[in-house]
Amino acid sequence: MSTIIVERLASLAPEIIVFCGAVLVSVTGLSRSRTIRHATPTLAIAALLLALAALVQGWGGQMTAGTLLPTLGGYARGLLLLMGLGFATLATGLVDRRYEEAVARGVAAFDPLRVVRGEFFAFMLLALCGAMLIPGSPDLIWLFLALELTSLPTYIMVAMSRGTRRAQEAAVKYFFLGALSTAITVYGFAMIYGSTGSLQLSQIQNAFLAQSALGGIDGVGLTGLILVVLGLCFKLAAAPMHFYAPDVYEGAAAPVTAMLSFLPKMAGFCALLLVADAAGWGSNLQAGNGLPPAMQATLWMVSVLTMTLGNVGAILQRNTKRMMAYSSIAHSGYMLMAIVAGPRDGLPALLLYLLAYGVTNFAVFGGLAGVERQGQEVEKLDDLAGLARRHPGSAAWMAVGSASLMGMPPFLGFWAKLVLFIAVIQAGHTPLVLIAAVNSVVSVWYYLRIAGVPILSPAGPAAEGIVKVPSAWPRITAMVFGVGILLLPIFLNRLVEQTSRASGKAPVATASAPTGGGGAPTAQP
């Protein structure tokens, strides 16, 4: 028993490091020493780097026996840690900024009850820790607790990120809709338990496979699976649980919005992969997908509705962050196609798409977070007109990120979308790809606006007051991720190999591109 406990703790080394980092920054953020308080973001970044080093060195690389998709954990946790570094750098200089300036000028006395920097970065690390725990979940209780540890800190981060009524309203909406989705998910878990008699994912998988061999999963289990899918749609910002996204994205500060665009989505897809595999997703590799037909049809419809509602809704927006919220909804629809395609074809493509989406989103939000007007974020798209004349860096990285989200070659988003479309076609779902292609064409309109207005439109009166934020970290973050959009296609073959290895399946669609990212992906059996 002691050996099992030691092995389990060793497999959780990166998560333990991140958790210890959360405890540390929650204490340093309350210090009366201004130097120690200002070191809080640095300590959070150090904890993430140490956890990433531990993962690279093999600590926590092996999941315990009985875990579904055991090879997924290394890739998913590594990607979460890399994106976590983006969260931390984007938020550096955001929290307590005006209060710290008042204390430094002697206008206000320091009060530990008024500073929230330590709590903010602690909640960020706790949310990351929860998401990292999801791929290795051996049972439904672990999975539920990890999902809640991912979600609960983000509700508070939305409220404290700006300290305005709009942020507080967004947090309340986010919390209550999150509670609804949690209730739906837990009810689905209860029905799955009632059908299979077990909470262990591996035993649930065996029970569902036995039921399928006798004619199909019973009604209780099937209803539970569909309810879990609908509950997880909240994490993905997918229809019909997508309504909160525009208000929350608009209400939260840009760095928190960037976090919300990726972290819950990554957590939701990891959870959905585990539930799908428990339902028999990987049991029929020759056919590509072993899901029950009702669950397959549900995912198909959710994918189509999500990408369509997301793109149509984005066209109607004037606020850049609301536009990016609908963009996030649309991309969830694209990524759900990979679940429909099955593990052999879709899983490597999904993992590559998540990487491309995360890198691209941080370039756009980094550009937004790097500028302000009269101490407030610049949110309306028309206010960004002529931004390139005064702040060419922010405008350039927003344009690069928008082009990648659009799927314009040779940017990273194009190759990720191409690999995904090829995988779904090879799985036999050509109509779904045609719908996605039409939606991609629709999305060109609003992505071109995000890219073109700051560069091509003449500067209006509103643009005169736009200045750089005091902290250089948002602009550095935008530059790093923007360069990643340009350079990562050079290593496309290696990225596809990594995602195929993480999926534990032999890849069907691999990318063959010469140096510089040119060429089209080629299919290999």
Predicted local confidence at residue 66, as pLDDT: 52
Please report which confidence band the pLDDT of residue 445 belongs to, taking 50, 70 and 90 as the band edges. very high
Supply φ then ψ for residue 73, to 5 degrees. Answer: -60, -45
CA 236, CA 333: separation in Å to the nearest integer? 9
**Mind listing the pLDDT tens digit for each residue in 151-207?**
999 999 999 888 778 888 999 999 999 999 999 999 999 999 999 999 999 999 999
Cα four-point dihedral sign 234, 237, 239, 241: positive
Calculate mean pLDDT across residues 414-419.
Answer: 96
Q: Which residues contact 421 (CB under 8 A, 6 or more apart)?
A: 433, 436, 437
Cα gap 497→13, rounded to integer Å = 25
Q: Per-residue pLDDT for 437 more than 90?
A: yes
Does the pLDDT of residue 507 top 80, yes or no?
Answer: no
- pLDDT confidence bin for 520, thresholds 50/70/90: very low
**Which amino acid, residue 406?**
M
Q: How far out from the chain centre does Cα 477 lie?
A: 17
At residue 315, the pLDDT reads: 94
Q: Work out the angle at residue 71's Cα, subtended by the Cα atoms of residues 70 and 77, and round it to the nearest 5 degrees.
A: 100
Q: What is the mean pLDDT of residues 508-519?
A: 42
User: How does residue 410 score in pLDDT terms, banded at 50, 70 and 90?
Assistant: very high
Does residue 523 register a pLDDT over 50? no
Residue 84: pLDDT above 60?
Answer: yes
Quick one: pLDDT at residue 505?
Answer: 56
pLDDT number for residue 93: 83
For residue 482, give both structure tokens.
């923007």
What percentage of the chain carries pLDDT values higher than 70? 92
Residue 15 has pLDDT above 90, yes or no: yes
Compute the average pLDDT of residues 109-132: 91
Cβ neighbours, 10 Å, residue 409: 15
- Binned at pLDDT 50, 70 and 90, residue 24 comes out as very high
pLDDT of residue 203: 94
pLDDT tens digits, one per residue of 423-434 = 999 999 999 999
Where helices occur in 237-384 by DSSP H, the ranges are: 244-251, 254-278, 293-315, 320-341, 343-369
Give the residue extent of every domain in the chain: 289-525
Q: What pLDDT score was predicted for residue 134? A: 95
CA 363 – CA 258 distance, rounded (Å): 9
- In this prediction, residues 68-84 reach a mean pLDDT of 90
The pLDDT, as a whole number, for residue 63 is 52
